[in-house]
Structure 1
Amino acid sequence: MTTPRSQKVSLDITPYYHCVSRCVRHSFLCGEDEVSGKSYEHRRQWVENRILELSQVYCIDICAYAVMHNHYHLVVHLNREKAEQLTNIEVIERWEAEHLLPPIIQRYLRKTLTPAETRRCDTMIECWRQRLYSLSWLMKELNVEIARQANKEDDCTGHFWEGRFKSQALLDEKALLAAMTYVDLNPVRAKVNPTPETSEHTSVKKRLDSLTNHQPTPVGLFPFIGYEHQDKPAGIPFRLMDYLDWVDYVGRQIREDKRGAIDARQPTILSRLSLSQTEYLKLCTHLERKRCLWIGPPEQLQMVKTSLNRQRLYGMVL
């Protein structure tokens, strides 16, 4: 039985999700078509630019992304707290960045409304506020724009994406780390690029380029803050250098044709998360197992099962 989107994406369970969108009939989103010889490589930049643009509008933080030849991956953090702290004017400004404002909202900004009209505007603004941290709205805005551009370029109409996007709930930090690693290493696993630092249109490449330019966090990406404690800003609960060490380690382990050896010393993040190398390598290579909708430890999966009142749960145990 199909799981409703409202159960797949629930902020009461977790704010972190791994999403995948694929092109219809596995046609080319990007890259070069070996049959026709036509290159669609420039479309990768379309997708990457759109992801980073929307991150400035929506209260949804981008943890990781990878744009492949016929699909893309996103790992996101739905930041409801950030959206709820916005003033009504800030909500309007963000919504206006992607949408035309109705005349009544323009009058609201000029403060020329009756009390009844003001209440109507408040209701409308509250609806927009909720959409600003909605995963479905983010993915819709991303996919519709890319489909429109691609269909215009191909001089055709019809569906560009293969149905709705797929999502997996990441129930704890271990699942978040696995999903981010999986996404950032997608080009390496597909043998499109030999290393993370050469993998164009991925979040790990953007973060590495940013470090070269002495910028800790690229615009549009969720920062790494280390383990959370009081007085620290919101961000990914790992250290960036630990994460990069881990990505390099996993990349070497899953690339059978890669030369060289890895230092046997286990990355610091592994000991902090109490995971064995064998368990984690299996998780990082099987993340997209069929019907895996929730990822986390047994107790978290049981909590989700109870919360959703389900007899069976399609999850991956950490």
Structure 2
Amino acid sequence: MSRPNRNEQFQAGEVCIVHAIQRCVRRAFLTGVDPVSGKDYSFRREWIRRRMEALASAFGIDVLTYAILSSHLHIILRNRPDVVALWSEEEVAQRWLKVFPGRRFEEHLAEPTEADVQALIRDQERMAVIRSRLSDISWFMRALAEPVARLANAQEKCTGRFWEGRFKAQRLADDAGLLACAMYVDLNPIRAAMAESPEQAEHTSAYDRIQAERGAKIDSAAFDLRAVPTAEAGKKIRETPVQQRMQEQKAKRRNPTGKRVLRDSWLAPLELASQTLSNDPQAHAGGLRASDRGFLCMDWSKYLELLQWTAAQRIKQAASKVPQRLQSALASTGIEVSMWRDLVWDYKRYFGRSTCAGRPSTMSADARRHNRRCHHGQQKASECFLASG
């Protein structure tokens, strides 16, 4: 069966949660040590994380979890058209120009000016398109993948494709699918033998949250969401040598806002304020992420305990019983407690070829919505859920 169209899986105008996977072509290495060439590309991990952090500050899209591995990356995204709808015309134009500056008269200024913003606002037809794109997961992934490919090709002194093709997208249709997938993503470095525990698995959302809980701070990579006054830009062009302007630009890229923030400040909070979603978009006012809305009906301490327990269950034959204190959290989602270890560690077996993940009843409803009989793997996944699920 061919891949479905993106608009069959998600649309920019409706809130949905998507597990995206972007994989390198053939034997190309995204990060880590390439066994063929012997080159170490580990330094790219932090660059990619910072790019995601920057995009999270500009797009109306929440980054829920992520993991950067040697040949691919996983990221769970939730688009927020309700948040984008609150932004003024100036905010929309500024955010767009930060990510896609286009070709301007003075490229080495790097920052859009007030004149650039006003020129874009005057084109109302284009502004409507841009507002939609700022909550479009496909555009977020494009803004992430293209610069990585250009950088990698420049470093390796080659041309051509760096990614296999368009990213793989899997819609997470309910809280059970989201919880299982979030754990699967956070545990990927352990599965790949890159780390022994979540505390050691750098460049994952779990690692960021653990470090933030300990007070770890980083230089913020968030965009400085303000336009440069046109007069100030003109003065800088006239009075500042080009070389100096380029050095200032390079310094600002390292820390655009000059702030130091907790390591997980750009990620969506983990715990939902309440189990019932309200109409309040809970837009974030600090310029670091789209919103302050959580995504799981459990707090961080319980999630971490469940993550650590699951990480220890690598060998199926030696897997122990889920602790009683964690069973209620799983049972409330309809997951069969005794199958939790299999659901996470063998996630690809159940949902690897499916464009949707969740309880069988939810997957069936999603399939009917798209005029399909069922989703691939739906029957197999039913083994991991209670009969009522």
TM-score (normalizing by structure 2): 0.72
Query: d(CA) in 2 for partners of 1:307 and 1:210?
Result: 40
- 1:51-90 deviation per Cα after TM superposition (whole angstroms, max 9, x unaligned): 1111111111011000000001001111111111111111
Query: d(CA) in 1 for partners of 2:275 and 2:263?
Result: 17
The answer to whether residue 90 in structure 2 is matched with residue 28 in structure 1 is: no
| SS of equivalent residue, structure 1 residue 196 | coil
CA apart distance, 1:305: 1.9
| SS of equivalent residue, structure 2 residue 94 | helix
Pick aligned residue for 2:271 from 222, 225, 233: 225
Q: Is the 8 A contact 2:14 2:81 kept in 1?
A: no
**Are residues 192 and 74 of structure 1, via their aligned partners in 2, closer, same or farther at CA, if it must alter by over 3 Å?**
same
- 1:40-59 deviation per Cα after TM superposition (whole angstroms, max 9, x unaligned): 11111121111111111111
Q: Is the 8 A contact 1:147 1:161 kept in 2?
A: yes
CA apart distance, 1:285: 2.3
Query: d(CA) in 2 for partners of 1:141 and 1:299?
Result: 35
**Are residues 10 and 315 of structure 1, via their aligned partners in 2, closer, same or farther at CA, if it must alter by over 3 Å?**
farther
- 1:140-199 deviation per Cα after TM superposition (whole angstroms, max 9, x unaligned): 111100001111111111000011110111000111111110000001111110000100
The number of residues matched between the two structures is 310
Pick aligned residue for 2:355 from 273, 293, 301: 293
Aligned positions of 1:1-318 closer than 5 A: 1-2=1-2, 3-10=4-11, 15-100=16-101, 110=118, 118=122, 121-213=123-215, 218-226=264-272, 227-229=274-276, 234-237=293-296, 238-255=298-315, 264-267=323-326, 268-289=328-349, 290-316=352-378, 317=381, 318=385
CA apart distance, 1:101: 6.1
What is aligned with 2:286? none
- 1:211-265 deviation per Cα after TM superposition (whole angstroms, max 9, x unaligned): 000888722100023443457852223311111111111111125699x978733
Q: Is the 8 A contact 2:23 2:71 kept in 1?
A: yes
**Are residues 148 and 235 of structure 1, via their aligned partners in 2, closer, same or farther at CA, if it must alter by over 3 Å?**
same
Amino acid at match of 2:269: P
CA apart distance, 1:205: 0.3
Q: Is the 8 A contact 2:31 2:42 kept in 1?
A: yes
What runs of 5+ residues in structure 2 fail to find an aligned partner? 105-112, 217-260, 283-291
CA apart distance, 1:125: 1.2
**Are residues 207 and 245 of structure 1, via their aligned partners in 2, closer, same or farther at CA, if it must alter by over 3 Å?**
same
Query: d(CA) in 1 for partners of 2:362 and 2:211?
Result: 36
Query: d(CA) in 2 for partners of 1:148 and 1:302?
Result: 40
| SS of equivalent residue, structure 2 residue 77 | strand
Q: Is the 8 A contact 2:30 2:41 kept in 1?
A: yes
Amino acid at match of 1:180: A
How much is the aligned-residue C-alpha RMSD, in angstroms? 2.9
What runs of 5+ residues in structure 1 fail to find an aligned partner? none
Q: Is the 8 A contact 1:188 1:199 kept in 2?
A: yes
| SS of equivalent residue, structure 1 residue 275 | coil
Bigger-Rg structure (1/2): 2
- 1:259-296 deviation per Cα after TM superposition (whole angstroms, max 9, x unaligned): x9787334152243242233322221233344211112
Q: Is the 8 A contact 1:14 1:171 kept in 2?
A: no
Q: Is the 8 A contact 1:294 1:301 kept in 2?
A: yes
CA apart distance, 1:138: 0.7
TM-score (normalizing by structure 1): 0.87
Q: Is the 8 A contact 2:67 2:203 kept in 1?
A: yes
Identity rate of aligned residues, in percent? 29
**Are residues 272 and 209 of structure 1, via their aligned partners in 2, closer, same or farther at CA, if it must alter by over 3 Å?**
same
Amino acid at match of 1:52: E
CA apart distance, 1:302: 2.3
